[in-house]
Amino acid sequence: MSVVSYKQEDFIGIVTIERPEALNALNTAVLNELNSTFANINLETTRVVILTGAGTKSFVAGADISEMAPLNNSEAARFSNKGNEVFRKIETFPLPIIAAINGFALGGGCELAMSCDFRVCSENAVFGQPEVGLGITPGFGGTQRLARLIGLGKAKEMIYTANAIKADEALNIGLVNHVYPQETLLEETKKLAAKIAKNAPFAVRASKKAINEGIDTDMDRAIIIEEKLFGSCFTTEDQKVGMKAFLEKIKGVEYKNK
């Protein structure tokens, strides 16, 4: 039985983790299916991806403790490596990915959400890295991405105390961009995705690449990355169409991803 589903709506791909009976906890099967699902997304017909969890209680409640508990040192390191490989694939995926967080995003769930480009959540969402309360560290990038997103001090507090935070605090500290009522979360996320999808796809993808590659280097090198990607846009038909429409005051231009 599949534990990850994929649906296409126009230019928007929707990836859903389908283990509601386990609050969508991450196990090896979920990680493997996430990997294969993203590997099979058509980059020509898709412009933005939404990642969410099934049901109304949980995005992903964490990694599956029942699978992790009996692991030895080397087995645990391999499990961490598997999760990190999948999450890194999501983080560096060519298309923008929005996490639509519909409830718990704890441990591996918070780490999965952080690997997306940005996050929106429902009013009942709860975020946290509770691993130290289980005798372990975050293992899917939590010690690295959380500090980059919300700052070193707050990240250390969340990880060291294992305290969870609610949607309003997640918004205040910049962990999420928007908070919506549970019943409108997916529709509001689709609206955001549609705004992205209407723009020139090559330019959006180049912007993601410039941000991701430039953020961890010095400004002089980062600017060179941007210059090259800026220049690459001028090889596309969409650049010519977009600028022509601007100069001629043509509204409603449709980009062809060429």
- Give the pLDDT confidence of 110-158 residue by residue, as tens digits: 999 999 999 999 999 999 999 999 999 999 999 999 999 999 999 999 9
Going by pLDDT thresholds of 50, 70 and 90, the confidence category of residue 257 is confident
pLDDT of residue 132: 97
* Model confidence at 251: pLDDT above 80: yes
* Cα–Cα dist 108/102, whole Å: 15
Going by pLDDT thresholds of 50, 70 and 90, the confidence category of residue 253 is confident
Spacing of C-alpha 107 from chain mean position: 15
pLDDT of residue 168: 97
Mean pLDDT for 28-47 is 96
* Model confidence at 1: pLDDT above 80: no
Going by pLDDT thresholds of 50, 70 and 90, the confidence category of residue 73 is very high
In this predicted model, what pLDDT tens digit does every residue of 180-193 receive, in sequence order?
Answer: 999 999 999 999 99
pLDDT of residue 252: 81
pLDDT of residue 44: 94
Domains and CATH numbers, the chain: 4-197 (3.90.226.10), 201-247 (1.10.12.10)
pLDDT of residue 71: 92
| For the chain, percent of residues with pLDDT exceeding 70 | 100
Going by pLDDT thresholds of 50, 70 and 90, the confidence category of residue 175 is very high
pTM as predicted = 0.95
Catalytic residues: 111, 131
* Model confidence at 208: pLDDT above 90: yes
Spacing of C-alpha 251 from chain mean position: 31
pLDDT of residue 139: 95
